[in-house]
Chain A
Amino acid sequence: MVTIEIDGVYYQVKTETSLLSACLALGLDLPYFCWHPALGSVGACRQCAVIQYHNAEDKQGRLVMACMTPVADGMRVSIDADQAKQFRAENIELLMINHPHDCPVCEEGGECHLQDMTVMTGHTVRRYRGRKRTHKNQYLGPFINHEMNRCIACYRCVRFYNDYAGGSDLQTLGINNNVYFGRFKDGALENEFSGNLVEVCPTGVFTDKTFSDHYARKWDLQTAPSVCVHCSLGCNIAPGERYSELRRVINRYNGEVNGYFLCDRGRFGYGFVNSPERILKPVIKGQTEITTEAADHHFRELLKSDRPVIGIGSPRASLEANFALRTLVGEENFFPGLDPTEHVLLEAINGILRSGGIHSPSLREVEQADAVLILGEDVTNSAPRLALSLRQAVRNAAFELAGTLHIPSWQDAAVRNLGKQLRSPLFIAGVCSTRLDDVAARSYWGSPDDIARLGFAIAYHLDNQAPEPGDLTDADHALAAMIADNLRSAKRPLVVSGTSCASLAVIQAAFNVAKALPSKDRQLTFTVPESNSMGLAIIGGRRLQQAFEWVHEGLSDTVVILENDLYRRAQEQEVDAFLQAAAHVLVIDCLDNKTTQQAELLLPAATFAESEGTLVSNEGRAQRYFPVYPPPENVRGSWQWLSAAAEGSKWRHCDALTSACAETFADLEAITRAAPDANFRINGMKIPRQPHRYSGRTAMLANINVSEPQQPLDPETPFAFSMEGATANVLSALEPVIWAPGWNSNQSINKFQDDIGGHLQGGDYGVRLFEAAGSGDWFNNIPQAFKPDQGIWHLVLLQHIFGSEELSLRSPPLAERALAPCAMLNPEDAGTLAVISGDLVEIKSLNGKTMVSLPVRIEPSLPAGLLGITAGLPETLQVNKLDRVTLKKTGHTTGEQS
């Protein structure tokens, strides 16, 4: 800590920080544009000017940019000096010269950093009388609007997009006051994190196009703390609602998890909530819609079966809903409802995390890793936000070098100019090339078995106690030894793996590597498929195939399926047979799908936006999501349907289920602490979901009835569907809307952190369920090297950020960006089959059944003998469960011929 004097007041501030960061951490108001807490300082906008005095006698001082000035003990500065204030006001005047002042029609209005800073500096009257420079806007795809006239050239967009997120198709073009931030030509922004431009841009150049379609001002949105449901990372989100429609999702800061950024799937994948395919009424097959009471009754009747009722849970349903189902049908009759391979993998991962003795890192910890091995996972597509963190981790070598030259890490441009290609080592072993290859020290492409073998070999080279794979080539040995050397010398090495390869050996190899690492700060993280896969793994249960057997054997005839489209879990004919054999099928879900279509009783489930529940992220962090707005009439949270069905249920409230679940599972003991319960009050008040400027409440339904209806009550959470309630002393992590006086934009987050870019005051959201314990044994089951079979292809599923995840694919903007189904082949294999890109090939199972015909895409990095299919696309679900297939050329398409 050092002591600095700001306008005559002495403050203790952290060393190694910029003056701007220090001022903001102290809660002082100092305007800025080009600086961003995650992007560091570059000194471009000149907005954070203050006066720095040479010594105690110096009355004059000199103007310095706070963002570029390191704090130093005894430093004396003034924010309020007239000279500094005048400079800042005139600087705003300059950068507003070409700004269109179109705030009333600008979607940034009301949460615009430029508005806030303009007001803060006091610039009110413009003297410029000339014409304004104007730009043409570009089409940037389904996610982002482009309105370049509003640009104030702070350069944050390109710094985020290129420097931070590794993008390349958004550039600074032009020169002088004609600088232009856009693409070389119109087209969708390619980077998976483009949506952050909406929040990174301090004004309305980049705005959320999905929000435009049903826009509302920030102050008119009702919001509650929530958690993204589109992958296993559990990024914190702030969804906004108006008129019972989910309008948008923005980032909600969590210092341990997502920090300032989300991926595009998380941000733009919310459309399924508003989908016309939502199930909105309980339905009994053949009787069309029924009342909720009738549905409850029917449900209870079904449960009276004299045989065990099968309960199939879901990795996208909350702990509470899964637990309620498990309790309702009995522990013995509960099935997590997973694909058999995935079931095995999740059990293995759960076992390793619980008793492997290796720390499972948060994303913040991932960013501190100084050497990384990714084994069998394309994280950009399977857990995108993790890829963004890994991109930051590789910078640690450059930060270290900068430190030796006394260049502070927040001097972003200086560190990047110094570091150049110097990166902490990142090694990627995957089935084919990934978006992180550009920052990887080495990428290896092989079959899942070969990836696992490489992992086992690395572990062996790190520690000779580990089992050694037989028959390794010299090249593989050399590669493994090189990777092992890099990992061995790292202080905070990290191993990343996951379920994408559908290979237990890969997961076990990842553990062996982590176990073999000498560093005490070694870390191991697994990505898992869905938002609550980890939670479900902890709850556990029987294999899905067993449920099929029970029904076919007559042991059971009633099935309750919770938020699970079984056609994504098993072969089509298996599921068909199962659902037909079961006398009674009850499905609770939010969206129409092939499983719901076969339900005898279909109960409409609320989505994450309309209900509450707890999810466990891949890290092992339990986080609660809260309803943003009440579900439509007749729609209930899944747990409520299950609770209503349980005779004499003691779970009148969700909290009771949370508590019961915590009591049942030792590993879930902490989930009650993930967020406060419904009894939580601040000065006797609930926390309002609506901002104090929420407008039109008395009038918004006046076209229907001039009497203002009572605000819906929320007995389940500490939040109120109201503007009234506690606004002071709310824990930062529970703030539905981030806002501070004078700071209407998301930049107000500075006021809610314990340090800039640090943790939220009072702690980050969620609770870690377990820490590293035990010390697992080496895994010894090393697969044989992969050898392509003549005429037979091994199917590998490739994750894609847009398309592989079930719910987001039901959101039109994301569906627009989804990959068209294709059969990815190595060029050599394509040659064997005499196909070129675009030709159709027929995929057949080994017993000769034709599954689907797909156009070929040549993927040079994919090893020979493998057939890559994008995971999760409805068109190819039927081949996803196949292991090995044959291929036959069937014709040409009119499509791409490259």
Chain B
Amino acid sequence: MDKWDKPLTKNIRSERAFATLTDYRKTGGYQGMRKAITELRPKEVQQWVKDAGLRGRGGAGFSTGLKWSLVPMGYNGATDAHQTRYLVANADEMEPGAFKDRLLLEQDPHQLLEGMIIAAYAIQANIAYIFMRGEYHLAAKRVENALQEARTEGYLGKHILQSDFNLEIYLHTSAGRYICGEETALINALEGKRANPRAKPPFTVVSGLWGKPTVVNNVETLCNVPHILQNGVEWYRGLGRGSDTGTKLFGASGRLKYPGLWELPMGTPIREIIEEHAGGMRDGYKLRGLLPGGASTGFLLPEHLDVLMDYDAVAKAGSRLGTGTMIILDDKTCPVRMLLNIEEFFAQESCGWCTPCRDGLPWTVTLLRDIIAGRGRIEDLDTLAGLTRMLGPGNTFCALAPGAMEPLQGALKFFREDFEQYIPGKLAAGGED
């Protein structure tokens, strides 16, 4: 047994396909919901989650309890009971390198449902949606099945636990685009529109799905909630190792001995994840850099191995915690080609709404291809650096392009010689793909 609690994955066992309702209840499942609905008022639930320090696990790291508290509980003279509000679980996991929500959805679907019931209760939403990545067929099947079980058990529907609280949850599988993971684009997609992001303000908590106050939470975020209610704020705060609380699913992919996914305390050092849990680099490979939170986060270097994986520490080191699923760059992979792969993804996934992203990302790809094909010019590196600024935060409509630029920005700084060696006049020496 590990020396820390693993509330999120405690029901996930290799000996069984997934946790059934019985399995889930056996370890205290739906007790958090019972506590919230029968003992606490919605505002108190919000306060608990706020006090627990739970931050959004989708990447932005916004305080979940605070987000809930921003939902207007009756405005414009309308009484609370007449105000429609929505909860949406963001299960559109598409960040390259991320596969954490998939595990939770496939292996323990009731955990998500309980989290959603509590969250919906906290914001008094009577309708909730799970917006799931279309390719997650197995997860969709298991969640749909769990929803049926929850309805049968009376966890969903009218008068849940004999209270006044009603809730129905609908599963919606996405037609599939990376941008659907952006909460406002997700809402547009859910409404049947093009998945373009919306401008903020107004924030979704004021005007979201169908123009109503809406909270969008990541799957992993919601999965934390039952445990906070069940075990208490203090317990939860005690789980973290750094400045952040709770546990987190951390992943690592690349040329590691044991790439994988682990539930670890917030603030676990990067070195520990790579060396202890992933078994270190594969023989013959050296660590050259890593993207700590998926493809849209900036490079960290071997010198950053002791950085704690929490929101503030990774930010201080110059990157973002993101989804907490790191991608490793080894010494035999060409960073330029890695970047091309990444940028091709983002250029393809740009929704086409704002100019810098729509036209800047394809140009980035063109430049990278030219460079790799030996058609590059030395000033192209300045153009690329210029694009990383041009497509930076605040300049584009949403965070897609700035995210796409984060790894490129670091690569140009840290691996400039790898770019330069493709430029005619220098020795062309591409590494292993």
Q: Which residues of A contact B (CB under 8 A)?
A: 42-47, 49, 62-64, 68, 87, 90-91, 94-95, 97-98, 127-130, 133, 152-153, 155, 172, 174-179, 401, 404-405, 407, 411, 413-414, 417-420, 422
Contacts and interface: CB of A to CB of B under 8 A. Distances in A.
Contacts of A43: 199, 354, 397
Given A177-B352, A178-B352, A405 B359 contact: no
Given A94-B363, A419-B211, A46 B198 contact: no
B395 A153 contact: no
Contacts of A401: 76
Nearest to A398: B211
B307 interface: no
A476 B410 CA distance: 72
Nearest to A128: B363
Contacts of A405: 75-76, 202, 206-207
Contact of A177 (B198, B210, B350, B395): B350
A153 B355 contact: yes
A590 B248 CA distance: 82
B403 interface: no
Given A128-B366, A175-B177, A153 B358 contact: yes
Nearest to B213: A405
B34 to A, nearest CB: 35
Contacts of A422: 211
A250 B406 CA distance: 47
Given A46-B396, A405-B202, A414-B207, A130 B350 contact: no
A127 B376 CA distance: 12
Given A87-B395, A130-B370, A45 B359 contact: no
Contact of A176 (B199, B358, B366): B358
B32 interface: no
21 contacts: A45-B355, A62-B394, A63-B395, A91-B390, A94-B360, A94-B363, A97-B363, A128-B363, A129-B366, A176-B347, A176-B362, A177-B347, A177-B358, A177-B362, A179-B352, A405-B76, A405-B206, A411-B202, A413-B198, A417-B211, A420-B211
A42 B199 contact: yes
B9 interface: no
Interface in B78-97: none
B350 A407 contact: no
A401 B206 CA distance: 12
B397 A46 contact: yes
Nearest to A411: B199
B358 A179 contact: yes
Interface of B: 75-76, 177, 194, 198-199, 201-202, 206-207, 210-211, 347-356, 358-363, 366, 370, 383, 386, 390, 394-397
A95 B355 contact: yes
Contacts of B354: 43-46
A127 B353 CA distance: 23
B199 A413 contact: yes
A175 B348 CA distance: 8
A90 to B, nearest CB: 5
B24 to A, nearest CB: 37
Contact of A130 (B201, B356, B366): B366
A414 B196 CA distance: 13
B390 A94 contact: yes
B390 A87 contact: yes
**The 6 A-B residue pairs with the shortest CB-CB distance in the complex, in nearest-first order:** A179-B352, A130-B366, A94-B359, A418-B211, A176-B350, A418-B207
Given A155-B353, A172-B194, A417-B198, A97 B207 contact: no
A305 B366 CA distance: 85
A418 B198 CA distance: 11
A175 B352 contact: yes
B374 to A, nearest CB: 14
Contacts of B347: 176-177
A401 B211 CA distance: 11
B259 to A, nearest CB: 30
A839 B386 CA distance: 68
B394 to A, nearest CB: 5
Nearest to A70: B201
B355 A47 contact: yes
Instruction: Determine which residue in B177, B201, B351, B396 has the highest number of CB atoms from chain A within 10 A of its CB, and name it.
Output: B201
A516 to B, nearest CB: 29
A414 B206 CA distance: 11
A418 B201 CA distance: 12
A77 to B, nearest CB: 15
Nearest to B72: A405
Given A44-B397, A175-B350, A407-B202, 18 more contacts: A43-B354, A44-B355, A47-B355, A62-B394, A64-B394, A90-B390, A91-B356, A94-B355, A94-B360, A129-B370, A130-B366, A153-B352, A175-B351, A176-B362, A177-B347, A177-B350, A407-B201, A414-B202
A42 B386 CA distance: 26
Contacts of A47: 355
B369 to A, nearest CB: 8
Contacts of B383: 127
B345 to A, nearest CB: 11
A601 B418 CA distance: 90
Contacts of A98: 359
A63 B358 CA distance: 19
Instruction: Name which of A47, A417, A418 has the most chain B CB atoms within 10 A of its CB.
Output: A417
A174 B352 contact: yes
Contacts of A62: 394
A500 to B, nearest CB: 36
Contacts of A68: 199
Contacts of A414: 198-199, 201-202, 207
B386 to A, nearest CB: 7
A127 B377 CA distance: 11
A176 B352 contact: yes
Contact of A46 (B350, B352, B356): B356
A640 B75 CA distance: 67
A179 B359 CA distance: 11
Contacts of A153: 352, 355, 358
Contacts of A49: 395
A66 to B, nearest CB: 13
